[in-house]
Amino acid sequence: MQREHALVGAAVAVLVVAVLLALVAPGALVDAEDDPEPQPEGRLDLSEIRLTPAAVSEDSATLTVTNWLAHEGGTSENVSLLVRAIDTDTGFVETRAGSDVGDLEGDRDEPVELNVTVERSGGYRFETLVFVDGERRTTRSTEIDGVEALRPAAARTGLQFHEFGPLFPTVTYDIVSTDDDTVTINTTAFLTNHGDQPAEDLQLLVRARQSDSNVVADRATVGVEDVRPGRTGTPTARLSVPDNYSYQLDAILTRDDVIVDTAATGANLDPTETVEVNRTTRSIDLNVDDFVGDDADDRREREPETATPETGGGDGPGFGVAVALVAVLASALIFRQIHD
């Protein structure tokens, strides 16, 4: 009987101890099988990099770098990206940008976009580094060239000078009138809208540049009427230039003071010569007075040129008599040496 009482007392003691342990440390009696198993780490790869122009100015270009992360399996913790723009000519890192992605779980594709600003010239290699919990896991890169070809927003338009080929110029002219060695001409430019939107708020600057001297004889700016997609506009500008010279007609298409497109053609008003565009191969007699406005003519009438001892009366830069004496003496010496 005493033995049974002893067993009961022992059981009670064990039960009391168990209750006390449960109160003091509730997790001490939890079965190890109830503990959650650690999740396996996922597999992370950088499958693709895409570049998209975001903003373009005269000096710089901001590109959106889209990085496609391919994730499989468990969990990748504390994922982060670093994008570096490396100048392909120098090898220097032009700029860099980073992004914290966080945790990735399961099978999924995750696009991560970063904006990177570089100088609008040359080429760059965009290199993306992927980190998981501070440890680099993968690297991928892509290259672009000719960043200067990206146009600023103000210069983006589908309107361009129409290219007819070598037999028909983009800019034409016709003579309106002649008066006192001055010719008035109408210049017409052919502009075709190759875009999908109407071309609006553009201006056309036309200038007549004397072919041999590059002196601009006259210029005019006219507004360009809106041109619908697929249509051609023909703005006209009137110029007055001195007669008997050959000119290059420079046509410059602008919007918001930004050059959009340019074209040029020759205007041969001198019947004795033919001058190619942007090419000068000989010297001619150029009368600069033909290109001077009325204000300069009035100024010359008010200030007549007079001969002074310094100018030598127009015979040279002040050394006419001295040069003549030196020539006589030199001739005498040569004559004497010959007879000696």
For residues 119 and 187, membership in a common domain is answered with no
Q: What is the pLDDT of residues 54-73, one digit of tens each?
A: 988 888 999 999 999 999 98
* Share of residues in the chain with pLDDT > 90 (%): 48
Final residue before a domain boundary, out of 282, 297, 319: 282
For residues 163 and 100, membership in a common domain is answered with no
Can you give the CATH number for the domain in which 131 is found? 2.60.40.10
Q: For 28-42, 70-84, 200-214, which range has the lowest pLDDT when averaged over its residues? A: 28-42
Contacts of 145 (CB under 8 A, 6+ apart): 88, 122, 123
Predicted pLDDT of residue 27 = 54
- Phi/psi class of residue 24: alpha, beta or left (left: φ > 0; alpha: ψ in -120 to 50)? alpha
Predicted pLDDT of residue 315 = 40
Mean pLDDT of 24-49: 68
pLDDT band at 11 (very low <50, low <70, confident <90, very high): low
The reply to whether 330 falls in a domain is no
Predicted pLDDT of residue 150 = 87
Q: Does residue 218 surpass a pLDDT of 90?
A: yes
Q: What is the residue range of 277's domain?
A: 157-282
The reply to whether 301 falls in a domain is no
The reply to whether 334 falls in a domain is no
**Mean pLDDT of all residues belonging to the chain:** 78
Final residue before a domain boundary, out of 132, 149, 166: 149
Total structural domains within the chain: 2
Q: Which pTM does this prediction carry?
A: 0.51
Final residue before a domain boundary, out of 232, 262, 282: 282
